[in-house]
Structure 1
Amino acid sequence: MATNFVQDGCMLDVTNSTSADITSGQVVAVGAVLGVAMDDIAVGESGVLAIDGVFTVPKVSGAEINQGESLTWVVASSAFDDNAATAATGDITGSTAFAAEAAGAGAASLAVKFTGVPGTVKA
């Protein structure tokens, strides 16, 4: 095996540098990449994010989302919206995640495929 191999890249070690604890299953942004916390991560502590895989996560309740649709991560509501949503400052769009299933307007969550590919953070 190559002596410079680090890991397969599906998970990332991160340090919680926010002012709040991160809970297991929470969507977390690392720059323009989205991931899901695998365990609780206290402020200042290190933990693991899955940046590749399918997870059931929060969705903006009014959004109509089709399977395979690219998504907008809405920072203010900590939920995904459809790709027609107008991104606000800090929201993440692009190929970092897409809908693994369809979800209607009344649904509070949906299955999302995280890709590990950077999206675009709205400035």
Structure 2
Amino acid sequence: MKNFVQTGDTLTFTAPAPVVSGQGVTMGALFGVATTSAAAGVPFEAALSGVYVLPKAADNIAAGAALYWDAAEGQVTTDDDDGANRLVGAATENAGTSAATVPVRLNSIAA
């Protein structure tokens, strides 16, 4: 089809601050996981689909729970913080309060 551009599984973001490979990142309404590290102002690729292990708040998370990105803490949480945290995906496994990470299936669009 002649109007197809790309699959969109990864997109190029520009780092507003230094980015580390595997870090959750946002660009406007998009949320992804950095595939490489980049210095501030440098373009890098971010994966927008798939399941990634991300750092989490001290929440008790059930598989299937909606997860929000807390940009200030650089982690996912079950708390939308009255809309301040953005919906980024859902947990694919249970993760108790003592777990530091949780596997997250990305939505790609941060609501």
> So what's the TM-score if we normalise by structure 1?
0.82
What do the CA deviations read for 1:44-99 (whole angstroms, capped 9, x no partner)? Answer: 11111001000111001x200010110121122111111xx251674213xx3110
Show the 5 A alignment for 1:4-19.
4-16=3-15, 18=16
1:114 aligns with 2:85: no
- 2-structure distance, mates of 1:114, 1:89: 18
1:42 aligns with 2:47: no
Match of 1:92 in 2: 86
Q: 1:56 is matched by which residue type in structure 2?
A: V
What is the count of residue pairs matched by the alignment? Answer: 111
Match of 1:80 in 2: 76
SS in 2 for 1:76: coil
> So what's the TM-score if we normalise by structure 2?
0.90
Distance change >3 Å, CA 88–CA 78, structure 1 → 2: farther
Distance change >3 Å, CA 15–CA 118, structure 1 → 2: same
- How far does residue 107 in structure 1 lie from its aligned partner after superposition? 0.3
Distance change >3 Å, CA 86–CA 43, structure 1 → 2: closer
Q: 2:63 is matched by which residue type in structure 1?
A: Q
Contact kept in structure 2, 1:75 and 1:90, CA below 8 Å: no
Contact kept in structure 2, 1:53 and 1:113, CA below 8 Å: yes
Match of 1:69 in 2: 65
Distance change >3 Å, CA 5–CA 117, structure 1 → 2: same
- 2-structure distance, mates of 1:46, 1:23: 12
Distance change >3 Å, CA 68–CA 12, structure 1 → 2: same
